[in-house]
Amino acid sequence: MKILVVDDENISRKILVSKMKALGTCVAVDNSKKALAEMELADNKEDPFDIITLDVSMPGMDGRQMLKHIRTREIKNKVPKEERVKILMVTARMNMNTIKSCIKMGCNGYLTKPVSRFQLLQNLGKMGFDTKEALEKEGNGATHTTAVADIINRFYTGKIALPVFPHIVQEVQDLFSSKDPSIEDLGKIVEKDIVISSKLISIANSPLYKGMDTVSSLNAALLRLGLKTARGVISAVAARNLFSSANKILKKELDRLWLHSFATASLGKQLGEALGHKKADNLFLMGIIHDIGKMLLMKAFVDIHPDKSVADPELRLAIHEIHTTFGAVLLKKMRFSSPFVQAAEFHHWNTYDKDTDQELLILCLADHLAYETGYGFLGAEGQRLQEKAGDKPKEDAGEDQETDRDEALERIKNLSALKLLGMTPEAVYAIGEQIQPMIKESAGAF
């Protein structure tokens, strides 16, 4: 395989080459002009490049312009789609809309800095390359790299079973696309499933939805939740099943991931309501499934390596690095609508802009707030929390709590999503404080 790395920054060029060289021959240049010359040279020798990585921001012709240039030329020369060079864009987690426009212009994937081997593997898998061979050549069998590469290969060649939602979710979906869905109609569908019916009753009595008195029938539960909320809750109950396993260590991890997802969902819904967002119930389901990539990756790992621990820190990090792209591909395959797919793909970016969907901004804020309220699941944030937990317990009274609050407010203040939503850190933090005590108990009702 022949690879061309185009990046004006010395260090990132070196990092890319060091990660790519196991896959084939690498040529690295620091600007587009030299890159075009290299491409011409290769074409003349009838030995063109297989993969090009393009830094998005470069002086002169930048990555996006170069992508456009290459694709336009290929179209002009009538190069069939499958023979076109594979192009990966390289960017900081800042330019979400730039990446979106690159995808439209025909890039095959993207890498975010700092580029990790796992990101690279996931992109190669997505483009249809078999990465196992290259890794074996590199002799990297001792780490989790091979295992992750294996999962990626299996996923993109259709050898991993996709999660399935029970049929009832589809029926509910259909009901809502009809003209006038009523509580009675919904009740008729739900009563067929005893497990979901009884769960709906206990959820209606859980702290998050509790009323003055206890409800004890399905109809009363549906009335309390209301049509729209009931719909979200039913999907969430169905999704809960996906977070289970007979493997003890995996079960523990999935329980934590469920708590994180549930916290993100509840906080997202609450933030949405505070902002007067029309689809606050959509936000709930979005929170439930935003990290679905992690769920599938962990399950796939345990299926293939039942003897190894899924809680290994190195593996966790690898999974974290690829879960967004992976989750997005998965949700697309499961026919989720575009806002859900985008939420899974872009919830860890640093910078959003005024064109970013409000739902994504709210989810991003909720994901962070879940961490601030003690329900993080290993983002960069999760690690910070774990480090902190190492030197002092969270319940430290008085002054420490004050500093904790100040630090949290400072972190929230710096979130790009916060500014774009026009909220104050204090208002967001208050929502976290209000919902935090109800999360654990309510999550258990699902």
Nearer to Fe ion, 64 or 299 (CB): 299
Distance CA 446, CA 441 (A): 10
Stretch touching Fe ion by CB under 5 A, among 180-188, 210-218, 361-369, 423-431: 361-369
Is residue 16 a contact partner of residue 90, using CB atoms and an 8 Å limit? yes
Nearer to Fe ion, 53 or 123 (CB): 123
Nearer to Fe ion, 150 or 291 (CB): 291
Distance CA 407, CA 421 (A): 21
Stretch touching Fe ion by CB under 5 A, among 62-70, 127-135, 174-182, 365-373: 365-373
Size of the site for Fe ion (CB under 5 A): 2
Give Dmax (Cα) for the chain: 80
* Shortest CB 252 distance to Fe ion, Å: 17
| Burial class of 183 by CB neighbour count within 10 A (0 to 12, 13 to 18, 19+) | middle
Cβ-based neighbour number of residue 154 at 10 Å:
15
Nearer to Fe ion, 345 or 367 (CB): 367
Instruction: Give which of 69, 68, 78 is closest to 103, Cα–Cα.
Output: 68
Q: 90: helix, coil or strand?
A: strand
Q: Which of residues 198-237 bind Fe ion (CB under 5 A)?
A: none
Site string for Fe ion, 267-306 (x = CB under 5 A): ------------------------x---------------
Instruction: Give which of 394, 416, 384, 438 is closest to 262, Cα–Cα.
Output: 438
Cβ-based neighbour number of residue 113 at 10 Å:
19
Instruction: Give which of 383, 344, 370 is closest to 436, Cα–Cα.
Output: 370
Instruction: Give which of 355, 386, 249 is closest to 346, Cα–Cα.
Output: 355
Nearer to Fe ion, 66 or 417 (CB): 417
* Shortest CB 363 distance to Fe ion, Å: 9
Stretch touching Fe ion by CB under 5 A, among 140-148, 366-374, 389-397, 409-417: 366-374
* Shortest CB 344 distance to Fe ion, Å: 8
Site string for Fe ion, 390-429 (x = CB under 5 A): ----------------------------------------
* Shortest CB 347 distance to Fe ion, Å: 6
Distance CA 39, CA 33 (A): 10
Nearer to Fe ion, 102 or 257 (CB): 257
Q: Does 367 bind Fe ion (CB under 5 A)?
A: yes
Q: Which residues bind Fe ion (CB under 5 A)?
A: 291, 367
